[in-house]
Structure 1
C-alpha cells in the first residue's frame, strides 16, 4: 500500500471516530445527493442546467417524508468566495432546503469544494440568516447549522454500519492541499470551464485518480467491515454481487440529469432523475431506479472480509 492508501486509511479512521451516529430501520427514508456544486448562475455554474430537475426531485422527497443528506460539495465555494451570490442565484432551492432544515430533515457534510463550512464562524456569518429582498429584512436560513465530516448510519436490524463521507479523504490535492487547488480553480480553471477544459486535479475528469480513490476506499471497507456512502468522483457506483459495499451517489451536474442513493423500506438503491419523453411526446421530470433495490441486511457485518477485493 502506497502513501496515498495509508493517508486514506488514516483520514477515514479520523472521520469514522468523529462521526455522528444515526439509526436506520424499515421506516427510515433517506436521500443522499453529493456534488451539487451550486454556483452563481454564471457560465461557469455547472449546476444551473439541472436546477429544475434537482428542485423537482427534492420537492418530491420533502413531500414523501425523506431526510436529505448532502454528502459534500453542495455549494461551489472554491469558485465563488461569497456564499450570498450562490444563495441569491438559487433562492428557490435554498427555500426548499430551509424547509428540510426546519423539519429536522437536513444534514450537511462538507467536501473539498465547500471546506469553508467547517468553520463555524463562516457558517454563522453566511448561512444562519440572509437578507430577504421581498420582505426587506433579515430572515432565518439555517440557524444553528453544523456541517460535519461524516455520519455513521447503523442498520438497527443487523448492526451493519454505513459511513457517509464526501470521499476526498486522503486525496492529496483535494484534502491536505485543498487550498492550492482552490486557488488555481478560482483564478484559472473556472474560466477554462467555459471553453471545455477541466482541472486535472479533479477526480471527476481524471480516470486514474478516480480509480485510485475507489481502490483505497475499498481496502478500508474490507479491513474495517464497514460500508461507505460517498461522492467526490462524480461516478455513480453500486456494488454488484459479492463486490465490497462501496456506494457512490454520482453527482448533480451531469449533462443529462442527477444521480443519488435512496434508502427506504430497509433497502438501498441507486436512482436517476432526468427529463424523459412520454408516449405523447410530452417532456417530464421522472425518477428511475438504476441499481437495486437491495435489502440492507445483505451487507451484514463480518461478510465483507470474506469477499475478495475487486
Structure 2
C-alpha cells in the first residue's frame, strides 16, 4: 500500500490515540469484551443468546479475579433499541458494570452502534471514551472499537441507523457473529493493520466480530503452527517425534473443522513483506457457539474462548488446549493463543516498516571498505 493510501488511516489512528484515556498496565489484569449488541431482551435481541453466560463469566471469574473490565464498543444496540429499554432489561448486567466501576476497574469505549451515547454523557453513570491507551514501559497498547476505519459507516451513520431500525429490525434480521463478507472486514482490518504497523503500536479492536491474534485469524494461526511442527519434526530427537506427530494430527483435525469456512482460503491477509503482530481483535460476545475475549495478564496477552459445555458438546474437543471450568457452571474457558507482550513489542520495534534511506545513507553504504 503506497504512502498516499496509508496517510489518512495513520492520521485517524493518531487522532484516536490523542483522544485516548491512559492507564498503566503494570501489575494489572485486563479483560476486553466487545460487540455485546444489547437489546430489549426480545426475539430480535442478539445479546439474549449469551447474556446469562456473560453475566456468570464476569461475576464468577473476572470480578473476583480482580480484572479491569474494558467494554470495547457496540455494547448497546442503539441503532435498533432505545437505551431505556436496554437498561431496564439488562439491569443486572449494568449493576455488575457499576461494581467494576466503583472499584476503578472499568472502561467503556464507544462503537458505531452505541455512538449516540456521547450525546447523553451528562446522564450516563460512568465515563465513556473513544479509546484506551495502556502504557507498558516497553510500548503502548491502543484499545478502540475499529469502526474508525470503516469510512462508509462513519459517513452514512444515519442511513445505517435508518436501515437497522426501520428495515432490519421489523424483518427480524439479526446481527452476525461475523461481518457479512470477508472483503468488508478485511478492508477494515487492513487499514487498522497498516496504521498500527506504521505507528509501531499494538492495536486491539472489535467491530468485525472476527478474533485475531498477532494479526492472524484462527485459520492463519493453525496453518502457521502446522508448518512449524512439520519443520521441527526432522530436527528433533527420536523420542520427541511421537509427540510432534500427535500434535500435527490435532492441528489437522482443527483445520478440517474449518474446511467449509471461506477464511481458510485467504492467505497473505495484510503484507507479503512479513506479517507484523500489531493487530488483535477480541471477536464478539454474540457468537453462536460462544464468547471470545482478549486477556492481558501482566506480561501476557491471550485470546480466550468461553463456551457452555451443555449446549455445545460438539465443540468441546479443543485438541491440545487446556480448559478451565467456571466452578458451579457448565462454562469452560479455553486459551486459544498466548504470547509475552515484551516479545510482541520487540518484534514490532525491530521488524516494523523502516524509513527509506536518504541519499547520503545510500552513498555511504557503497563506499569501499578500508584496506
TM range, smaller chain: 0.7 to 0.9
Say if 2:265 is the partner of 1:290: no
Alignment partner for residue 275 of structure 1, among 303, 308, 314?
Answer: 308
Aligned to 1:131: none
The offset of 1:203, in angstroms, is: 7.1
* Higher strand fraction (1 or 2): 1
Aligned to 1:73: 74
The offset of 1:173, in angstroms, is: 2.6
Q: Which has the higher contact order (CA 8 A, sep 6+)?
A: 1
CA RMSD of aligned residues (A): 2.6
CA distance in 2, matches of 1:83, 1:7: 33
Q: Normalising by structure 2, what TM-score?
A: 0.70
**Inter-CA distance 149–305: structure 2 relative to 1 (3 Å threshold):** farther
CA distance in 1, matches of 2:336, 2:83: 33
Alignment partner for residue 297 of structure 2, among 264, 267, 270?
Answer: 264
Aligned residues: 279
The offset of 1:176, in angstroms, is: 2.8
1:208-258 superposed Cα distances (whole Å, 9 cap, x missing partner): 110111111111122110110110000000016864220000000111111
User: Unpaired segments of 5 or more residues in structure 1?
Assistant: 128-141
User: Unpaired segments of 5 or more residues in structure 2?
Assistant: 215-220, 225-274, 317-327, 355-371
Aligned to 2:271: none
Q: Find the residue that maps to 1:273 and give its secondary structure.
A: strand
The offset of 1:190, in angstroms, is: 2.0
1:118-168 superposed Cα distances (whole Å, 9 cap, x missing partner): 22xx1333x3xxxxxxxxxxxxxx2xx221111111113x2x111110000
**Inter-CA distance 15–62: structure 2 relative to 1 (3 Å threshold):** same
CA distance in 2, matches of 1:58, 1:51: 11
| Equivalent residues of 1:36, 1:75 under 8 A apart | yes
1:26-70 superposed Cα distances (whole Å, 9 cap, x missing partner): x21100000011110112100101011100111121111001011
Aligned to 1:133: none
Q: Find the residue that maps to 1:272 and give its secondary structure.
A: strand
| Equivalent residues of 1:244, 1:304 under 8 A apart | no
Say if 2:185 is the partner of 1:185: no
Aligned to 2:136: 155
CA distance in 2, matches of 1:308, 1:14: 20
| Equivalent residues of 1:225, 1:302 under 8 A apart | no
Say if 2:301 is the partner of 1:300: no
* Higher helix fraction (1 or 2): 2
The offset of 1:283, in angstroms, is: 7.2
Aligned to 1:104: 104
> Which structure would you say has the larger Rg?
2
Q: Normalising by structure 1, what TM-score?
A: 0.83
Aligned to 1:136: none
CA distance in 2, matches of 1:283, 1:61: 15
| Equivalent residues of 1:221, 1:304 under 8 A apart | no
Aligned to 1:225: 200
The offset of 1:88, in angstroms, is: 1.2
| Equivalent residues of 1:274, 1:287 under 8 A apart | yes
